Structure 1
């Protein structure tokens, strides 16, 4: 999927403002605070919204002008809607499967997602979690080349969430690419090969979870020693962009770019001051730390 200089307005409000986004094979997670433009971006890529300017290509096709060629090749899980409220769950899933040449085994998919007990229940009478799982099943049953999943685990219990994660991993193994929007940082860290963070209608950071965590927020080194060490002398030994403090008696923290050289500096300083640290630990910043640093907003973890 390739998006270049995308602009989408609603009246006087610009929801997407010159956004660039490239999603390669694998799982791409799209993160952003409410109102950032991520839903509008994804819906434009799905062909549900027409861009005001810019270009969008999905599997090499324009999702608006070439919708007829694109639709059989993609799967879409909307956050809500897309299902006839009076239709039975099993009926809707089997109908969707018949629209495709080589669908997945419906019975196996039903069992995997825990939908067996509600097959004859109308959509409107399903619980929120059951509706989510049915929408996911309908999105993947046609063996799409690319599937859009909008908040696929919202409202699911832990067991159903893990089953969904396993399904996404299997899709990736089978060569299916996934565009995943989620509010759960752990979900993005667990599933995504690539993460795009959107804020203010633009992509403000993109990379693998490891790249973003390494290159975005700083890391923290902690060590324990005797109380009252001269932290000011430690600061002089550290790079200028680092901070150091005794947070509690005998508990020290260094914040900055933690690399082997800095670790050697700290251990050397300890040796010079006759300190044998009880423990030294390095804390890798999480994707949520990076998100908060870049956007100033929290997302559910």
Structure 2
């Protein structure tokens, strides 16, 4: 990164309050400095009404482990006289605003903003939800820097009420499964309008932000691509198709070798424990693989990771041999357009 860019980010840190994480120019999304100072999670995680701090973390943390939470819920450090949160919400890296949902009643996310970090490889997105207010100038297509104010923390939502004392930022880091989500949505006949295009929550898969931030802070990795390589594959699945899905075109850094000029017949896909297709290996006709177009099969899996999984299963582990879960099948339908 150029020296002037580093100076700009440091200036933003001084003027507007966000905290720089190590040397990766990654910003914490709220003014709370507890994580950077190494304090316990109860100082920055907002629990559910259960009061259990871990319920605000990512993973199988709700309803006794049976319900998945695809984000970190971050608590406020500043409130007004009425008890409403006042914390500014910051973009964690430079990027482009790709979605703004300004009407609280249009999503269970409430008001939310999605920023795609197109200067990164892969060009992942971050999502900031339950906002009380969208920041000035934050609209689709706007460029933002690390530390740019996206809005104000709040408790907006649709379909349920977040009490004042549980105002928080719902923060996700992830990927879009397909550029043609509307086709999948229409096939399901949900009976309601998709108001969010490809940035509908059903079209996004996420990684756990906290260990990523911890890895950056410790210096073990410099970026998300390096971090993804440290996440073990829970399952490897082969999909027989000559198609190059939009997921591959959008995130070429996740592809292990070039497929240009080759006769593609399949993809070997490594999935994380929570269903992120983190690694793609193209397979070619001259490799002599058996299988027909449309075949999907499990190549390998990690019993250690999957047998204790209580939600968001990549594979079904109950039988003699593992089978592909309905959730993974749904993801493959979105990615490849399968019916």
More helix by share: 1
TM-score, with length taken from structure 2: 0.25
Higher relative contact order structure (alpha carbons within 8 Å, sequence separation ≥ 6): 1
